[in-house]
Chains A and B, each alone.
Chain A
């Protein structure tokens, strides 16, 4: 069965600094990978996804992630953090043709002024 591990339940960076949120997955077959963001008291919003093709994917709000099969990783990055990036971030995996997303535990991103 597939699973997702997000390293670091809480990440804090300064405004303008690099954001790096780590995600490793476990899957016996090629997965589809997603990053979702959740702002306080809101649902989940898709940031970006990897299905097939180019391993570096760009998403909304300046975020991007790179699929590294050899490392079973899908880390999320943003070159320069903004205060508005403060939120909870979830990495998720789904097996092609499957019906459910499997989420990691989430990483709370705090931005310091």
Chain B
């Protein structure tokens, strides 16, 4: 049973560029969340997608946008990259129903902005 998979694992961009990160949720999961983890910090919630719609958003600017596809996979897009966007971006998924809030995390995409 494949867990949460993310791609790419590492990437380097320059300021002002745009980046797209991809995530496939764990089999049977329909809800995808994205988190940003800056170096030495805990993960910060960016947004969550369910039924192809953004359901909740954290305190991130509009430069951060996302999408969820009919197969439940998701993309995170960041426009006009800033140095401060350098971080590990984690995708997490959970299954149907109210659940207990438990999330399953991928290994992340490490973004470096130069």
Contact = CB atoms under 8 A, between A and B. Distances in A.
A77 interface: no
Interface string B17-58: 000000000000000010100001111110010000001101
Given A99-B33, A99-B55, A45 B105 contact: yes
Contacts of B101: 32, 34, 51, 94, 96, 98, 101
B42 A43 contact: no
B108 interface: yes
Q: Is the interface of B mostly helix, strand, loop or mixed?
A: loop
B103 interface: yes
Contacts of B90: 43-44
Nearest to B106: A43
Interface residues of B, number: 25
Given A43-B4, A96-B101, A101-B92, 18 more contacts: A32-B101, A36-B105, A43-B90, A43-B106, A43-B107, A45-B105, A46-B102, A46-B104, A49-B100, A51-B101, A90-B43, A92-B42, A94-B101, A97-B98, A99-B33, A101-B43, A101-B45, A106-B42
Interface of B: 4, 33, 35, 40-45, 48, 55-56, 58, 90, 92, 98, 100-108
22 contacts: A32-B100, A32-B101, A36-B105, A42-B108, A43-B105, A44-B43, A44-B92, A44-B105, A46-B104, A49-B100, A51-B101, A94-B101, A99-B55, A100-B45, A100-B56, A100-B58, A101-B45, A101-B92, A101-B101, A104-B42, A106-B40, A106-B42
